[in-house]
Amino acid sequence: MSEELKICPLKDGERLGLMNHDSVRAATIEDIRRLLPEGYALVRNNKPEDGSPDYGEPILVALNGVWQHVTYMRDGADDCEDWVEPYHFDHDDSCKSFWRNVTAWVPVSDLPLAAHTAQENSE
């Protein structure tokens, strides 16, 4: 497998795939796992393999295969499916995304120390 392959969403209801330039192909779970850093959870068919994050837990997410550069959290309600939103509790609906659009996630607490230090220095 080429190192240039990236995670991306697929058409026809499939949510995970691999992309190399303009070509898209179905990917096995093993293909995707090889591309994800250790500690990242893969989401397939709306269910993370390694469990869901707790509500309100700071997480980084890939939405439809695109990593977001903002800390998110998972939230939910009894009358609809779960969603993720930026971790500032603003409840701005324009920034929400349903959990079904999350293709991978990692708790912020599991990130390497260098990432935490860089974030603290930028604030």
User: Which residue range forms the structural domain that includes residue 99?
Assistant: 38-122
Q: Cα-flanking dihedrals φ and ψ of residue 121, to 5°?
A: -70, -30
In a domain, 4, yes or no: no
In a domain, 9, yes or no: no
Question: For 20-73, how does the pLDDT look when each residue is reduced to its tens digit (9 = 90+)?
Answer: 434 444 556 666 667 666 667 766 544 444 467 888 888 888 887 777 878 888
Q: pLDDT: is 79 or 93 the higher one?
A: 79
26 located within any domain: no
12 inside domain: no
CA distances in angstroms from 111 to 20, 21, 25, 46, 100, listed in the order given? 27, 29, 30, 23, 23
Residue 5 lies in a domain: no
What is the pTM (predicted TM-score) of this model? 0.54
The mean pLDDT value for 104-122 works out to 64
Backbone angles phi, psi at 79, to 5 degrees: -100, 5
pLDDT tens sequence across 62-79:
887 777 878 888 888 888
Domains held by the chain: number: 1
**Is 30 within a domain?**
no
Any domain includes 75: yes
Evaluate whether residue 13 is within a structural domain: no
**Gap between the Cα atoms of 56 and 76, Å rounded:** 10
